[in-house]
Each structure stands twice: as C-alpha cells, then as structure tokens.
Chains A and B, each alone.
Chain A
Amino acid sequence: NSKVIQTPRYLVKGQGQKAKMRCIPEKGHPVVFWYQQNKNNEFKFLINFQNQEVLQQIDMTEKRFSAECPSNSPCSLEIQSSEAGDSALYLCASSLNNANTEVFFGKGTRLTVV
C-alpha cells in the first residue's frame, strides 16, 4: 500500500484565489511527481523533482503554478490564481529514482474552483 500522503483531500477555492496542496512522499523517495486528472479522466503530467531540484515541467506549470520540495518539509503545489478549468484531482507520486522503478501514488487532492 502506498504511503504517499496528500493533504487536503478536498479543496474549494474561488476564481482568482490561491490554491495550495501538499504531499509527503514515501520515506526515502527522492523523486516526486505531480499529475492533474481532469473531469474527463485525462491525466496530465505537471512537474517532477529529484530532491529539491525540478527535473521537468510543462508550460502551464511554469506560468501559473509554483511547486517545491524543500528538504525536511512536505512538497507543495500551488496555483497562483485559480481558474474554473483548474478543477481536477491533483495526484502526487514518488519513486526511488527517475528511471524504471515503481511509482507510488497518493489519494489525491480534489480541487473545485467555483
């Protein structure tokens, strides 16, 4: 069973508000991923880290999201100014390395932007 912990499970924000969610990866996992799953069940990779360094991120993440994985603190993903289209399930995942090892997922944060 996965030990990736995401908080909060549910988040409701108004348009234009900041939305912040957190993730504690499995102990000993230096690689962390964030994915967005929209209402059509489509997954989108957002960003990944190895320790505190960003490995890859998509354009959308670069422009409107901020994410970090500080040492000895939970990782976080924050939307600077929420839009209705940001309503989705945000999944955090972690792995031992960034190649060929199992990726473990948290239960996700369900964001609703009203």
Chain B
Amino acid sequence: GDSVTQTEGQVTVSESKSLIINCTYSATSIAYPNLFWYVRYPGEGLQLLLKVITAGQKGSSRGFEATYNKETTSFHLQKASVQESDSAVYYCALSDHNNRIFFGDGTQLVVKP
C-alpha cells in the first residue's frame, strides 16, 4: 500500500540554524503521487505548508522548501534558518488518485532560543 516514513520523532535545532526533516514515501496505487508537508502548531489544526505534484519540482513556503525526488522517493523538508515560531509538528504526506491522504507519523520540531 501507500505509505510515508519519517524517521525522526523529534528534531531540536537552535534558532537561526538550518533544518532538515527527512521523509521517504512508497506509492503502489499511483505512480507519481502528490506530496505534501502539513504542519500543526500548538493548539491549532493541521494546515498545509507546501505541496508538490510534479516529480523533480521544488515547493516552498514561509522559508521552507522540499524537492520531489522520484529516484530516491524522498521529499525532505529544509529551512536555512529556523525561528522559535517554527516550533510545531511537521507531517509529510502523499495523496492517492482519490485524494485520500497518507501521513507519516510526524516530526516534532523544537527550536531553542
């Protein structure tokens, strides 16, 4: 079946340092799924951070970037310089042809001042 793997349950980064959160996917129901990063800030609902629907393309939002790599089936999230306000749980996800979303288990980002 379709699935998403995030290997890190929590990542701690000092403010202004760079960030990478790893994500790999496996898609069997669809050759090139849409890929997403969702974020949940404390006390808030899940919200879309960025989305890429074409293999090889890069998506970006609020300083975060992720590149759809079909060779390595990866969609890692990166940011050059994190802020305390970026502290949240980040979910990598893919959607199938029926728009059902398959989420990773999430990575808690803690940004230290």
Contacts and interface: CB of A to CB of B under 8 A. Distances in A.
Interface of A: 1-2, 4, 31, 33, 35, 40-43, 45, 48, 55-56, 91, 93, 95, 97-108
Given A40-B105, A41-B106, A101 B44 contact: no
A95 B101 CA distance: 12
A41 B105 contact: yes
B45 A95 contact: no
B48 A99 contact: no
Contacts of A97: 99
Contact of B100 (A4, A40, A42, A56): A56
Contacts of B45: 2, 4, 91, 105-108
A95 B99 contact: yes
Interface residues of B, number: 20
Interface of B: 34, 38, 44-48, 51, 53, 89, 95, 97-103, 105-106
B99 A91 contact: no
A21 to B, nearest CB: 14
Contact of A43 (B34, B48, B89, B102): B102
Given A48-B98, A91-B46, A105-B38, 7 more contacts: A33-B100, A43-B101, A48-B100, A97-B99, A100-B53, A104-B48, A107-B44
